[in-house]
Chains A and B, each alone.
Chain A
Amino acid sequence: MPIKRVFHWQPNAGTTVNSQLLTEVSQCAETFNGVREGRWKPNLTFYKPMQRDQTIPADLPRDFLGIALPEQPNKYFLVIRGRSIVTEADSTIQVIMEKLQSYKSRISFTFEGIQYQLGDFLLRVGKVVPTHSENLRGIVMEVEYLPISSIEKGKVIMDEFFDLWQEALSNRSLPGHFSHIDTNFSDFGLSDTYTPQHTAVQYACVMAQMIASVQSVQALRS
């Protein structure tokens, strides 16, 4: 499948994300002659262990994430970022997890946005909102380059596209910038050929980054 790179909005110190920012970014995509193609709505759920006795310490993951990708409706992706594990499963794994009653959903987020086509690129921009809520928690952007499925081979063109995009955005003097974390996919046992598992890993990294920046803002305030 084509390579993708996922970015998150890094607000400048002292600023927060708001829906106006998302409007500006969407307008920018349209000035790139982006053709609106439809909606984009992946879903991410953090699970927490159900312990009979909370007082007994256990080495259980706190960052266990389940991801539903709209382009893979029959699949579900499970990621434990801290242990570098990604597993692709049928969507029935959710029923199994429910029946096992060992982990339960702590909080779910949706990336809710629009997809634009810009030549050979697909650009998706969306807000990060907790499911059943309108509270904006962040902004994510995903760039897909259709002709290439090798991450290494697509690196230069991705970098070039992002430079152009940053330049276009910089004209708008927005209080922050899009940031990308270079993920070492081989740590997760993934190869250079892009798969939906690579997307799941990138989403997990973006969520971790977003949570970390929210926590650091909260720490500064208190």
Chain B
Amino acid sequence: MECVVQGIIETQYVEALEILLEGLCGVHKERLRIHELCLKTAPNLGVVASEVRLLCDLEQPEPAWTVRHIGGAMRGAGADQISVLVRTMVESKASKTVLRLFYALGYKLDHELLKVGFSFCFNRGAQITITVASINKMLKLHATDEAVPVTPGIQLVEVTAPASSENYSEVVAAMTSFCEYLAPLLHLSKPGVSTGVVPTVAAAAASLMSDGGHTTL
């Protein structure tokens, strides 16, 4: 399982967000360049249609592949009351033949994306990862060098943390409290719930840029 929230920020304020995150997380950022391929079953294969994501980490000396399956979100009154999405998620690292394998098994490429940005991984009551990335599409199949932004000038911010059915409420609490620190720059909510940009962002970013993140927001 994982807990997840997302938000958006204009590219001009990303540097300010980075300064804030460096101060908050106490770790160095990691560069992020991930080619994400979303595969779906061919018609007639499987009890139900299914979807799997293959992530190719292009930042590594040798491209490193991960298979990711995102399952259903937690539902019910309890889930509605929390501001974080809790969903099943399973990952497995895999060798470079994994794309050929899934094609041979009858999966077809639905779409592909290139995420370029940075991430911070740190522990603050939970193992939290925050990624800030521009989402790019390829004009030609697999042509990651010629990718263009899907939404120019806007970047996606995603906060995730692994959780289990026993500890998810503590993880949700840890994530919620972390997200509050970012509130002057961006609003984070469940994926699919669009909240747009926040009105305080320009002032907050200007303040961060002027003193390198030492201001208490």
Contact = CB atoms under 8 A, between A and B. Distances in A.
Contact of B97 (A50, A92, A189): A189
Contacts, number: 95
Interface in A94-147: 95-96, 99-103
A96 B53 CA distance: 11
B52 A96 contact: yes
Grouping DSSP codes into helix (H, G, I), strand (E, B) and loop, the A interface class, with mixed when no group exceeds half, is mixed
Contacts of A99: 50, 69, 71, 88, 90
B45 interface: yes
B45 A197 contact: no
A100 B50 contact: yes
B106 A49 contact: yes
Interface residues of B, number: 28
Contact of A53 (B41, B44, B91, B101): B44
A91 B94 CA distance: 10
A99 B94 CA distance: 17
B192 interface: no
B104 interface: yes
Contacts of B61: none
A60 interface: yes
Contact of B50 (A56, A59, A61, A101): A101
A51 interface: yes
B131 to A, nearest CB: 21
A59 B45 CA distance: 11
10 smallest beta-carbon distances between A and B, as pairs:
A102-B46, A93-B92, A90-B92, A89-B94, A101-B47, A88-B95, A92-B92, A100-B50, A96-B69, A87-B101
Interface of B: 41-42, 44-48, 50, 52, 67, 69, 71, 88, 90-98, 100-101, 104-107
